[in-house]
């Protein structure tokens, strides 16, 4: 995959949480652990391993046994130990090149994958630091984290809750009993990088906070659309695509992918191909420090060759089913959310779901999205001339591929389309509305 960037090595898919070496559990541990696990799923981590003091066994077990059912929740387990790094190396020898380590005592408040942008294989890792810490354990010089020292009463930099460590760095940490002790040792050796982040908190809020969402089309918006894209080896980012997703992540948006994939119903490829392609997209985004929180795709089409995909589900854009399903599973602030795609059907789906929509017609997705994401996006006044929610023209089909009959899709549930007033007839050749940012911005149906 190419994106105009040299991608780093893949981001880790395992999170290690260290819950200190205290003799007793700390207030809020249960809720905080559950929040850390839920957030790990958002960032694409597949597994979470919690290393804790034996006295905290009850609260850790309670946290794991009472995890709510949420989208993208990773597998989680725990180890009671007084020597977390020694146990880590023996129990989890195949962690990969690097591992993300979190303190179980605080909640980070930044894009976790942002540490990928600061990683350097020649170092032991990189630690997230915040300014104004009372205990001042670190000094940040350029991009290096060094042991903290005070000048008068001025605080230095505190630990913001996350560190991305190279696997080779774990070898010398076997006798470190806390994450803080391990990081201090690496800082004293001069091998630890540092990156500024917001200060963490101790007490959790809701396990998943309400946020605005950015709904993104795939082909023609994130990647080059050469017609029926399904081969991961031919997936090519458009300019600014990965940076646009990261910017939305950094600003606290949920980022969702919603894509029509009628090539499945037409027999050109399978749902497995779609999932492999989407997984490759997510993998490269994570290496860039970006991520998709969740993905929906629709394989049906009225002219599908495979009968199972000929049934209408309400998910094929311009129908709003994919967006509605995501908003039913995630706490989305609809009035602050945005749908972006390169086709009129993307705009139609966003409007029908009650979400402001912008049609991407530029050369750089990050430059296009930046003003929309950064601005205080007030609901615009009713605008005339929004395009009809017509289905996009189908690309020229490739030569048919022999594909075995595919059973009825199990990756989505039909969602009924919401009842709404019929769209008014549009005048021919409508003038495209322009927002104060200079891009077409179409309000949702409910304010037209």
Point out the residues that are catalytic: 217, 219
- Distance, CA of 357 to CA of 418 (rounded, Å): 18
C-beta separation of 186 from 177 below 8 A: no
Residue 102, φ and ψ in degrees, nearest 5: -120, 145
Judged by phi (left if over 0) then psi (alpha if -120 to 50, else beta), residue 104 lies in alpha
- Cα dihedral 358, 359, 361, 363, rounded to 10, equals 50
164 DSSP β-pair partners = 100, 126
* Joined tokens for residue 16: 């290690």
* Joined tokens for residue 324: 């509605």
- Distance, CA of 311 to CA of 306 (rounded, Å): 10
* Torsion over CA: 314, 315, 317, 320 (sign): positive
* DSSP label at residue 72: T
133 DSSP β-pair partners = 156
The number of beta carbons lying within 10 Å of the beta carbon of residue 339 is: 29
The number of beta carbons lying within 10 Å of the beta carbon of residue 410 is: 7
Q: What is the 3-state secondary structure (H, E, C) of 360-419?
A: CCCCCHHHHHHHHHHCCCCCCCCCCCCCCCCCCCCCCCCCCCCCCCCCCCCCCCCCCCCC
* DSSP label at residue 221: T
187 DSSP β-pair partners = none
C-beta separation of 139 from 156 below 8 A: yes
* Joined tokens for residue 417: 């389309």
Closest to 283 in 3D by CA, of 4, 2, 13:
13
Closest to 97 in 3D by CA, of 43, 169, 192, 173:
169
CA dist 182 → 22, 157, 191, 201, 212 (Å): 16, 16, 12, 21, 37
Closest to 112 in 3D by CA, of 294, 208, 246:
246
């Amino acid at each position: 995959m190419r994106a105009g960037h040299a991608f780093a090595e893949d981001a880790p898919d395992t999170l290690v949480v260290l819950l200190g070496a205290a003799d007793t559990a700390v207030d809020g541990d249960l809720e905080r652990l559950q929040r850390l696990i839920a957030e790990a799923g958002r960032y694409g981590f597949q597994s979470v391993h919690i290393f804790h003091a034996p006295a905290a066994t009850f609260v850790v077990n309670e946290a794991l046994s009472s995890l709510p059912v949420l989208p993208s929740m990773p597998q989680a387990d725990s180890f009671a130990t007084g020597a977390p790094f020694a146990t880590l190396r023996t129990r989890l020898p195949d962690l990969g090149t690097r591992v993300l380590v979190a303190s179980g005592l605080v909640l980070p408040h930044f894009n976790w994958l942002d540490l990928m942008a600061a990683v350097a294989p020649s170092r032991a890792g990189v630690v997230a630091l915040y300014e104004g810490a009372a205990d001042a354990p670190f000094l940040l010089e350029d991009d290096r984290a060094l042991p903290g020292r005070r000048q008068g009463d001025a605080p230095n930099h505190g630990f913001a809750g996350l560190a991305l460590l190279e696997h080779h760095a774990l070898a010398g940490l076997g006798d470190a009993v806390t994450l803080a002790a391990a990081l201090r040792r690496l800082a004293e050796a001069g091998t630890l990088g540092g990156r500024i982040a917001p200060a963490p908190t101790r007490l959790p809020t809701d396990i998943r906070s309400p946020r605005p969402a950015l709904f993104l089309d795939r082909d023609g918006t994130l990647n080059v659309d050469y017609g029926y894209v399904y081969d991961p080896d031919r997936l090519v980012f458009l300019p600014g695509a990965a940076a646009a997703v990261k910017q939305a992540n950094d600003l606290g948006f949920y980022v969702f992918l919603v894509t029509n994939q009628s090539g499945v119903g037409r027999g050109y490829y399978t749902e497995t191909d779609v999932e492999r392609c989407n997984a490759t997209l997510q993998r490269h985004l994570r290496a860039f420090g970006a991520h998709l929180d969740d993905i929906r795709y629709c394989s049906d089409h009225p002219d599908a060759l495979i009968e199972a995909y000929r049934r209408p589900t309400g998910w094929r854009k311009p129908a709003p089913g994919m967006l509605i399903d995501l908003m039913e599973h995630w706490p989305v602030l609809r009035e602050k959310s945005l749908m972006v795609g390169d086709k009129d059907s993307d705009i139609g789906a966003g409007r029908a779901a009650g979400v402001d929509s912008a049609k991407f017609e530029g050369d750089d997705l990050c430059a296009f999205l930046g003003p929309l994401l950064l601005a205080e996006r007030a609901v615009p006044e009713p605008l005339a001339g929004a395009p009809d929610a017509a289905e996009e023209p189908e690309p020229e089909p490739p030569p048919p591929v022999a594909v075995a009959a595919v059973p009825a899709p199990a990756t989505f549930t039909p969602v009924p389309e919401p009842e709404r007033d019929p769209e008014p007839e549009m005048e021919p050749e409508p003038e495209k509305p322009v927002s104060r940012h200079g891009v077409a911005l179409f309000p949702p149906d409910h304010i037209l």
